[in-house]
Structure formats: C-alpha cells, structure tokens
C-alpha cells in the first residue's frame, strides 16, 4: 500500500472536496491579506529568480495566464496533466510544444504553500500574480491583481483549440475572438502589446515572411536566414527588438511593418482605422500603455473565475489527484486505491471471471465517493459531476 500511495503522489492530484452548491464571491486585491499575507511576496521572489536565470521566462509566465483565461475563464485548467480517461489542454494545438514555464509554476506553488503552511493560494491566482510580477520584473508598470480564484477540476482540449486565437487570423476574426471573451478593441490592441517580450517559433510566422507583402523587406530577409522555407519550424525569433524589456518598441515595429506575427501586423494596416490610432498612441506614450495594459489584464483576469465553493484549491498545480491519494471517506476507505483497482480490473474485464470483481469495485467506488461527499457536506447527497466519475463512466 505504501508503494501505491507513492505512485499516486507522483501521478495524481485532487483535493477531496465534493461540495454541493456554490456561493458567489468577488475577486479582490486583499483576498489573502488575512489568510496568508506572505503569499504574494513568496510568488514575487520565485518569479524574479526564474527571470534572473532566464529572462524569456517572464514572457512564458505571462502567456500561461493568457492561454488559461481564454479557455473557459481564468481557472488554472491549462496546468492540468493528462491521465487515463482525462485529456487536458497542454496538448491542444496552441499549447503543444509552445507554452512553457510549468516547472516555475510548480516552484511557485511549493514556495507559497510553504509560506502559507498549506494549500491556501489557488493555481489560477498564481498564474495571475506571476504574470503581473513578470511584467514588473522586466520593466513594466505594476498593477493591482485581483485574487480569490479557485481551480478547475476539469479542462477542455477542444475549447483550447477553438478559443485561443491562432497567429494566422485576419483582423475581423481576431477582434471577434476577443469580443467573444468580453474584451473590446482597446483590450485587443493593448494586450497584444504583451508581445513586447518573448520569442516566437518559425512555424508561427513562416508564411508571413515568405508570402505577405505588408512586411519590411529587410526585416523579412533577416528572418528568412533563421527560418528556411522548409524545416527549422522550432527555431525562434524575438517578438520585438528589445525582447527582455517591457516597453513600447512592439508598437513602433508595427508602424514600420516589422510585426513578427500576422496577427501583430493586422493591428496596424495604415488605413486610418481605430486600431491604427491606438498603435500610434501607444508607440509614443509608454505611461499610457503601462496603465492601460494593467486595466485590460485585470479585465481579462476577471473572465469567469471560479469563486466561493466552486472548484477547489489544488494541492498540486498540474494534477487534481494528489490529495485523493491520501484522502479517506467517512469509513476510512481510500477512494484512489479503489480507482486503481478498477483500472487494473478493466484490463482483464474481457475475461468473464473478472467481471463480478469489476462490478463490485465500481459499486465500492461510487459508495466511497458518496461517503467523501457526506463527510465534507455533512448531508446525504450524491457527488456532483466530477472528472473522477467521468473516468468511471468513460474508461470502465
């Protein structure tokens, strides 16, 4: 059993809480002031250390927050790992071999849990705070992060594929995407300014440097030396000329048709549009850019957060099974161990002699989960829909 618990500790994670119903709550800047005043300083230290080791990490952490929020809200779902019967968002096309920095998030989680003597700060909040701290560490203006989010128990690869805007969109589709998330034209332009830091892979801009005409010829030629017509898809280029400084060079580059991505240059087409005006404005007004960027980040960070009793506070940023490996129901039974037995029995279920054991294990699991619900809610209630139940339904 010790070996079994160790295996689950490495592979799986969930806080064993099946809460019935939900309460509404608002995000606030002082959510952790009483519960753990050391939380935000602990996050900042790890972020600064990570960027000190690798300046590009600031852009990576900022991007994690974007990609998390654009898929069913800012709920930490991007961080969840795949496991049998569950597919997360990390392997979706916009994320696969692209988003990075998960190891730093794990370091932040460990540091903040140590500072708070337990899992007090959600992974979703860690992403929001780390994004702000990354901007500040690289020279950008600070802004007040609203916190109090809780973590999702599920994720959607399909929604990640559909909701995260690819770098090939023309302006109307790009704006429509942002508007579908409750963001406006001004948010689109100012949040795109996050591309003032970081790198992009050749596969994301190769078509632009070889086939588009609204691009500076010298700029395109230089990029073609890095990205050949075939191959080299994972070679990288800076998103602007000062890739480790959070400044307004990105907007100046757009004025000179040096936007690296197709979606970047779509913001400035020299047609007198509203987006053209915003790009010109921010190119010469760094204070306005910094202030407006913070406002739009807060707006984006408020997209469908889980609060109150919705979701959970994960014990581990990348999985929702870890605590379940230790959890017991009111009768002292280990539900995770029962799931493991189910998965083992499933492999032998084609043998008729194993089917009665499989059926009994399924009954025990459902009773165990119900017992866990009763022990948390204090009432006799059927566990709500949860990924664990989907595992039973879909893989067993």
Dump pLDDT digits (tens) for 255-303.
Answer: 999 999 999 999 999 999 999 999 999 999 999 999 999 999 999 999 9
* Average predicted confidence (pLDDT) for the chain: 83
Helix (H) / strand (E) element for 113: namely helix 102-116
Tell me how far apart the terminal alpha carbons of the chain are, to the nearest angstrom. Answer: 23
Is residue 395 pLDDT above 90, yes or no?
no
Cβ contact 8:322 at 8 Å: yes
199 SS3 class = strand
Instruction: Tell me the average pLDDT across 62-79.
Output: 97
pLDDT band at residue 175 under the 50/70/90 scheme: very high
Token readout for 365 is 């699991």
Is residue 53 pLDDT above 60, yes or no?
yes
pTM: 0.79
Least confident of 83-87, 150-154, 325-329: 325-329
Helix (H) / strand (E) element for 237: namely strand 236-238
Token readout for 205 is 């801009």
The whole-angstrom separation of Cα 256 and Cα 279 is 11
pLDDT band at residue 315 under the 50/70/90 scheme: confident
Sequence-separated (6 or more) residues with CB below 8 Å from residue 156: 71, 72, 77, 89
Full DSSP string of 147-188: B--BB-S---HHHHHHHSPPTT--HHHHHHHHHHTT--HHHH
pLDDT for 82: 87
β-strand 236-238 against 199-201: which pairing, if any? antiparallel
Which of these, 256, 306, 9, 297, lies nearest to 151 by C-alpha position? 306
For the chain, the helix, strand and coil percentages under 3-state DSSP, each to the nearest 5:
50, 5, 45
Is residue 90 pLDDT above 70, yes or no?
yes
Cβ contact 262:167 at 8 Å: yes
Tally of residues, the chain: 396
Q: Which residue has the tokens 């010298």?
A: 218
pLDDT for 25: 58
Least confident of 23-27, 59-63, 114-118, 339-343: 339-343
Instruction: Tell me the average pLDDT across 347-373.
Output: 55
pLDDT band at residue 317 under the 50/70/90 scheme: confident
Is residue 103 pLDDT above 60, yes or no?
yes
pLDDT for 378: 35
Is residue 341 pLDDT above 80, yes or no?
no
The whole-angstrom separation of Cα 360 and Cα 161 is 38
Is residue 353 pLDDT above 80, yes or no?
no
Instruction: Tell me the average pLDDT across 164-186.
Output: 98
Is residue 122 pLDDT above 70, yes or no?
yes
DSSP label at residue 204: G
The catalytically annotated residue of 65, 67, 195, 262 is: 67
Top pLDDT among 330 and 250 is at 250
Alpha-carbon separation of residue 288 from 27, 108, 247 (angstroms)? 25, 30, 11
Cβ contact 60:138 at 8 Å: no
pLDDT for 22: 34
pLDDT for 266: 98
pLDDT for 83: 79
pLDDT band at residue 335 under the 50/70/90 scheme: low
67 catalytic, yes or no?
yes
pLDDT for 6: 30
Cβ contact 392:365 at 8 Å: yes
Token readout for 308 is 């109150």
Top pLDDT among 359 and 111 is at 111
Chain centre distance of CA 387: 18
CA atoms in the 13 A half-sphere facing the CB of 255? 13
Instruction: Tell me the average pLDDT across 39-51.
Output: 97
pLDDT, tens only, 205-252: 999 999 999 999 999 999 999 999 999 999 999 999 999 999 999 999
pLDDT band at residue 361 under the 50/70/90 scheme: low
**Partners of 237 in the β-ladder:** 200
Is residue 1 pLDDT above 50, yes or no?
no
pLDDT for 387: 47
Q: Which residue has the tokens 């332009």?
A: 189
pLDDT band at residue 7 under the 50/70/90 scheme: very low
Token readout for 240 is 């602007």
Per cent of the chain over pLDDT 70 is 74
The whole-angstrom separation of Cα 256 and Cα 351 is 69
Q: Which residues of 336-353 are buried (b: 16+ CB within 10 A; e: fewer)?
A: bbbbbbbeebbeeeeeee
The whole-angstrom separation of Cα 361 and Cα 380 is 21
């Amino acid at each position: 059993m010790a070996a079994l618990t160790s295996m689950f500790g490495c592979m799986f994670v969930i806080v064993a809480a099946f809460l019935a119903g939900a309460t509404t709550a608002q995000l606030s800047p002082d959510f952790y002031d009483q519960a753990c005043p050391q939380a935000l300083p602990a996050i900042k230290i790890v972020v600064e250390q990570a960027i000190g080791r690798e300046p590009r990490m600031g852009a990576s952490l900022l991007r994690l927050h974007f990609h998390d929020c654009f898929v069913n809200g800012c709920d930490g779902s991007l961080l969840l790992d795949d496991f049998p019967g569950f597919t997360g968002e990390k392997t979706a096309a916009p994320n696969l071999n692209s988003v990075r920095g998960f190891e730093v998030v794990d370091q932040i989680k460990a540091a903040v849990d140590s500072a708070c003597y337990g899992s007090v700060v959600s992974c979703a909040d860690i992403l929001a705070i780390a994004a702000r701290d990354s901007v500040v560490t690289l020279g950008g203006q600070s802004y007040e992060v609203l916190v109090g989010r809780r973590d999702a128990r599920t994720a959607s690869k399909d929604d990640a594929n559909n909701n995260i805007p690819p770098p090939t969109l023309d302006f109307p589709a790009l704006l429509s995407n942002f508007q579908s998330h409750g963001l406006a034209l001004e948010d689109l332009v100012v949040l795109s300014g996050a591309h003032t830091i970081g790198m992009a892979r050749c596969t994301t801009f190769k078509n632009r440097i070889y086939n588009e005409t609204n691009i500076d010829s010298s700029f395109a030629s230089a990029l073609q030396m890095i990205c050949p017509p075939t191959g080299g898809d994972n070679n990288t280029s800076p998103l602007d000329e000062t890739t480790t400084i959070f400044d307004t060079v990105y907007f100046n580059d757009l004025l000179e048709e040096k936007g690296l991505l197709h979606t970047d240059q779509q913001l400035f087409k020299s047609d007198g549009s509203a987006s053209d005006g915003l790009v010109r404005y921010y190119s010469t007004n760094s204070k306005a850019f910094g202030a407006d960027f913070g406002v739009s980040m807060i707006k984006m960070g408020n997209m469908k957060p889980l609060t109150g009793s919705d979701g959970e506070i994960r014990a581990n940023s990348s999985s929702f099974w870890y605590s379940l490996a230790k959890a017991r129901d009111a009768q002292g039974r280990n539900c995770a161990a029962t799931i493991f037995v189910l998965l083992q029995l499933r492999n032998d279920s084609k043998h008729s002699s194993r089917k009665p054991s499989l059926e009994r294990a399924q009954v025990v699991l459902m009773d165990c989960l119900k017992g866990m619900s009763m022990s948390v809610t204090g009432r006799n209630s059927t566990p709500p829909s949860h990924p664990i139940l989907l595992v039973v339904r879909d893989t067993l």
